[in-house]
Structures are given as C-alpha cells and as structure tokens.
Homo-oligomer: A and B are copies of this chain.
Amino acid sequence: MTRAILAGIAWAVLLPVHAQAPDPHAPAPGAATHDLMPAPQVLEWRPGRLVVDSRLTLAARGAADPRVAAALERFRRRLSAQSGLALRAPLGGGEATLTVDVSLPGAPVQAVGEDESYELTVDARRARLSAANPLGALRGLETLLQLARAEGGRTVIPAVHVSDRPRFPWRGLLLDPCRRWQPLEVVKRTLDGMAAVKLNVFHWHLSEDQGFRIESKAYPRLQLLGSDGLFYTQDQVRDVVAYARERGIRVVPEFDMPGHSSSWLAGYPELGSASGPFAVERRFGIFDNALDPTREEVYTFLDGFLGEMAALFPDAYLHIGGDEVTPRQWNANPAVLAFMYQHELRTAADLQAYFNRRVNAILARHGKRMVGWDEVLRPELPKDIVVQSWRGAEALAHAAEQGYDGLLSSGYYLDLNFPAAAHYLPDPLPAESTLPPAARAHVLGGEACMWGEYVSPENIDSRLWPRAAAVAERLWSPAALRDVDDMYRRLEVEGERLDRLGLTHRSSYPVMLARLAGSGPVEPVRALADVVEPVKEYRRGQMRRYTSDMPLTRLVDTARPESLAARRFRKDVDRLLLTPAGERDETAVRAALSAWQANHAAADPVLAAAPLGAEARSLSRDLSAAAALGLTALDAVKAGRQAPDAWSAEAVALLDQAAEPRAEVELAVLPAVRKLVLAAAQLDAARAQPLDQWNRALDEQVKRASAPRGGH
C-alpha cells in the first residue's frame, strides 16, 4: 500500500523545535528518570539495588505455560550475556531470586485484549514479577531486562516498583515482503525486536502486485507463478506463528484483494476482471488488475484459499486489504457492468462493498473476523469487521462512532523516512478527541507499517529500528507522555539494546559505507552519510523509476531515515541563539561546521573513484559550502555584528540551491545552517525582543523556506 497522499502530520513536527516541547500539563510519572521503552504506567524508585551474581536463581510459579518457561530461559541467556555470568537454569517452581508468578493460563490462541498487565517489585534481595496472565509475565521480563544496568563492575537491578499495563490492546507492526523479498531470518529478528518493545501483533502482508509470498497447497500456482520462487513455505509459516506466540505476538496475515492482485492473476488469470495474460508486477504504484467480484468461481476460489489460510493462521483476525482498487477494469468489462446494473450497484465502491460482504461471509464461515483498510468501511458491512486507518485519526474516530473497531496507521508509516518524533506524537485517541466513552473502546490501537519498496534484508532494520519503538511507546504508555527530547534520549538507549539482541540497524551501516567508499577510506564518506537523509514521503519514487529488483546499495539506502547528527546540531544552534549575547559558547557548533567544511577535500576523491559515490559529490561540495557560510554567520553572531544584507541574500540563495535533493537524499543540516545565517542577518532584531521570541521568528522563517515545494 503506497500512499499518494501524506497524512499531513509529519511536516509540522519536522522543523520547529519548540513545537516539540513537552506537554506542560502532565509529564508522565517517571519519565526522564529511567530509560525504559515503552515507559511503564507507574514506576517508583526505591532505595537499594539487587546485585546480579552467579548465585541468582530464577523460578516460574502458578499456572503452567510453556511461554513463561521459554521466556525465562531467554531472559537467563540475555542476562548472562550482559553480565558475563553463567546463570543457573530456571527452577520449575518454588522461591528464587527472581520469581515469576502467573495466576491463570493464557488463551490457547492469543486474543485481543488478553490481560498483559504485570506488577514488578525489586528490592536488594529479590525480584518478584506477578501477572494474571502469561502475557504479563513476558512483558514484565522485558522491563526487567531494560532495568538491568552496569554499576561498579557489576550488573544490578535498581530497587523499584512497577505497575504496568498497555493503553491499547492492539499494537502492531506490518512487514511487507512482497514488494521486495525478506527472508525468514528478517521476520524472526523483527519478532525479537517487537517483543523487546512490547508490540503484540505481527501484520504479515503476504500478497501484492509484486509477489505472492506464501505457499498454498490448494492453489500452488499462486506461489509458483506469482513469487519468482521467493515465498514462505507452510512449514516456515507454522514456525513463525509458533515463534511469535512464544513471544506474546499474534500473527495476522493479509491477502490483499480485490486490487493489488497481479501476483494472484499470474497463476490464476481466470480470477481477473480483464483478460490476461497477467504477470507479476516489477514496478511500484497502483495498478488496474483486480479480481472479478461478479463471478461465483472467484468466491469458490477464495473460499478454498481462505479456508486453507484460516487453518494455517490460528489468529481470530484475517486482513483482506481492500485498498486502492481502481475501477478501470471493471468499467471496461461489459459483464461486470451488467452485473452491477442487475444488482443495483451504482459505483465501483458499491461493487467492492458487495465483494467485501461476500468475503466477510466466507471468513465468518471459517471462524475469522475481517480486517481491512479504510476503504472497506461501508454501512453494508457488519459491525464486527476492523478498519485499519491509513487516512488519519479522524477517519478512525468516524469508524469508531459508527461502532466499528479501528486501528490507526496514519502517522506510523516507517517507510516514509520521517523522524521518530513524527511517529511518536500521532495518537489513536488524541487528547482533543471528543469521542464518547463507548466509541473510545472501539479504538483498539494502531500499527506501524514498513512498506517494502525500498528495503533489502541489509537495510530494513535501519528503517524499522529504533523508530518502531517510538510507535510502540505511543501505543503502550500513558497518553500524557509526549516529551520528545526524553523520547530521543531513551530511544538511543533502546537502539543499543536492540543492537545486542541481534538486530542489524547499526551493524549494517559500516558494511554499506565501505561498499559506498569502493576501495577508498570510509571515514569521509561516513561524515557525509551521517548528515544526509533519504527524501521524505513518496518523493523517491517520483525522482527515479524503481523496479523490484534494483540494487539498494546507494547513499540513499545507506543513510539513516533520521540524521541524529543533524538533530544534535539543530539543538546546539538553538542553545547558542537562546543564550544571551555575551555568554554564548559556540564550541560545538563551530566544531561541527569546521568538520563539514573540511570533509569535502577528503571525501571528493573517494566519491569520484567509487561507482556508488559519484552521485554524492555535489552533495559533499554543497555541505562544505553551506558549512563555510555557517562559520561566517557564527563569527558574526559571536561578534554581535549583524551580517550585511547583500551577504545574507547571497547565502540564502546558495542554501536554497543546496537544499535541492539529489541522489534522492537531502542535506539534513541545512535548516539549522539557514537559521544561523538568518540569525546573523537579524542580530539587531534580537536586541529589540526577548530571545525566545526572536528564536521562534527565525524558526518560522526556516520552516517557510524548508517546506517542500509543491502542494500536499
């Protein structure tokens, strides 16, 4: 599902720093005093600490559930790795240093809303984790691991009381191995990361125009002709479902229909509403191929196929996509038009609603509840379907008001290269929501989405992590927790923890940089890559025509979605400008600018020689030139001598040029350089007003200049 329209939430967050200030009303309890992610509902520090030594014992008590035993064993291994101690295998029961108490067994198939709460108490002698349900024990063990820290050469767990439960029962992550293939190991390590940040739904987007990624034994041509041989076998699917269950994660498969269906038609052209032949799509975008909703054979096929899938995936929900259907093939088919006339279906949307009702009935027969994207929401559909909203919180509220369960995904599209803050703040139930309590209960939560056009197994983790943890916190933690700076602080720590869990969002970076540098030195290339970001939203596809088998090894694939160096620089510039003139310490700003200015001399020969580097040469040159402007501006600010108008006009023109994306990336430090240049040109104004007012005015000017050209 590639969206042509942006939900509009992101740009507002991208630029002005003071817009990210914490909500003054209610900083959540404990925030900024811990590095847990997601933050728990209640955390109280107590005096003392539990020292982890080799005598530490672990035990699970109460309701027997193999998930708790397995989680305790994983806990032991991770705490062993961290502490270097060979901790003993968990006991079957009894009292131990860490005792996990679970009152009731869990549901045989993990259910929406199944109790995930837990209480955790640590003192100097022991830790006690208690939960009503095995799921709570799993969540609490992750919290406990996040609490463990190095202190005085030992691993300790500070004394604490945590009382925790999720805000929303459905906290998902969508993975799209259709646009580009993602092997099983990517799926498994994604599940590891999800469990670490308490996400509980793996939304597996398994069919698309570009690939049918699951084995059907009933209709084998689906994968044989629809996947280039790249699909998950049913054994692998069972393995993934078991792996996910063991980590407290439901698996909801999606089979997109009636649109996004070219790969179905490659093997079964008779399902189409146009005449074939059909082939797997290599390009990206929205295509006209669609199943024919007017023919009974199509429902017979879907009954067989969905029945097979319903048996394979135990979850109570099954996603049928339903998005972005174009009416072209239906309108061009006389038999379809005749059917519509006969059944009084006046529009393509009516016809799709008819299709959805039929599919919903099939799913109901197989014991599944239907989930679909926004478009499935129609009064004809029964109230037990779930609507996943990519259009926004308002669409979601609209569905909830009508009595439909709903999920928010607008604002959570990780493939659009927005900063973590842009994903952190959107809320399925915003503070200003006027939904009545009954409707609020229909807002089940949300899902982060990792659409697959521009990710390979090598760089997908860097798009998923750690930003998915920001969404995980939004869906788990108190609504009032909106302190962006503190989120970034904890996200950095969580990023390191995820790294040690085996995710490759950090470790892939040097490998990709070395490839970029060809046989030259890596450091100057890294210095450039550190301060660029891939273009945002859907611009990448507009700048170059992509297909599903193009290599993803260029600078745009290597650069992180959010440049933390640029964020740090922006903060340093703000701090500088908010400091009264005589007291300004410009060391950090000057060091960064000097390094960027000097870097081009080292980077250019490397980029010129390397096949993957040439396209980045002008970016490196412009970074250097912009940094030189920034240094001049900094001198002016430091000296308190306003820069001449002619100079600043020229500087702004140069920055405008440098801001033009190339090689599908942009220089992420330019807005802050521009702010410095504008500040140097408006020093007299600074003397006439409070500094924060001046600073805000500068931000407004930067925001106007940096907003993407062309309407959204």
Interface of A with B (CB < 8 Å)? Answer: 52, 77, 80-86, 89, 149-155, 185, 235, 458, 496, 499-500, 502, 504, 506-508, 510-511, 514-515, 518-520, 547, 549-551, 553-554, 607-614
Contact = CB atoms under 8 A, between A and B. Distances in A.
A622 to B, nearest CB: 18
B519 A500 contact: no
25 contacts: A77-B549, A81-B515, A81-B551, A81-B553, A82-B515, A82-B612, A83-B551, A83-B612, A84-B551, A84-B611, A85-B611, A149-B518, A150-B519, A150-B520, A153-B607, A153-B609, A153-B610, A153-B613, A155-B611, A235-B235, A504-B507, A506-B511, A507-B508, A507-B510, A510-B510
A514 B155 CA distance: 15
B153 A611 contact: yes
Contact of A82 (B81, B83, B550, B611): B611
A146 to B, nearest CB: 13
A514 to B, nearest CB: 6
Contacts of A153: 607-611, 613-614
Contacts of A612: 82-84
Contacts of A510: 506-507, 510
A84 B553 CA distance: 6
Nearest to A236: B235
Contacts of A551: 77, 80-81, 83-86
A508 B499 CA distance: 10
A519 B185 contact: no
A551 B510 CA distance: 26
Contacts of A514: 496, 499-500
Contact of A611 (B154, B185, B550, B611): B154
A150 B612 CA distance: 9
Task: Name the 4 nearest CB pairs between A and B, nearest first.
Answer: A150-B518, A153-B614, A507-B507, A80-B551
A520 B508 CA distance: 22
Contacts of A85: 551, 611
A511 to B, nearest CB: 6
A152 B609 CA distance: 4
A669 B247 CA distance: 46
A549 B80 CA distance: 10
A554 B84 contact: yes
Most interface-central of A52, A508, A511 (chain B CB within 10 A) = A511
Given A81-B551, A152-B609, A499-B511, 15 more contacts: A77-B549, A80-B551, A83-B612, A84-B553, A85-B551, A85-B611, A149-B519, A150-B520, A152-B608, A153-B607, A153-B608, A458-B502, A500-B514, A507-B507, A507-B511
A465 B551 CA distance: 25
Nearest to A518: B150
Contacts of A496: 514
Q: Which of A185, A508, A551 has the most CB of B within 10 A?
A: A551
Contacts of A499: 511, 514
A561 B608 CA distance: 36
Contacts of A607: 153
A185 B499 CA distance: 18
Contacts of A554: 84
A679 to B, nearest CB: 33
A85 B549 CA distance: 10
Contacts of A519: 149-150
Contacts of A507: 504, 507-508, 510-511
Contacts of A547: 86
Contact of A500 (B150, B500, B515): B515
A6 to B, nearest CB: 27
Contacts of A82: 515, 553, 611-612
A550 B84 CA distance: 8
A5 to B, nearest CB: 28
Contacts of A86: 547, 549-551
A83 B611 contact: yes
> Which of A152, A515, A607 has the most C-beta atoms of chain B within 10 angstroms of its own C-beta?
A515
B511 A150 contact: no
Contacts of A518: 149-150
A67 to B, nearest CB: 15
A155 to B, nearest CB: 4
A502 B186 CA distance: 13
Nearest to A85: B551
A688 B226 CA distance: 80
B84 A609 contact: no
A74 to B, nearest CB: 13
A139 to B, nearest CB: 24
A150 B609 contact: yes
Given A86-B551, A547-B86, A151 B609 contact: yes
Given A185-B185, A500-B511, A514-B499, A610 B150 contact: yes
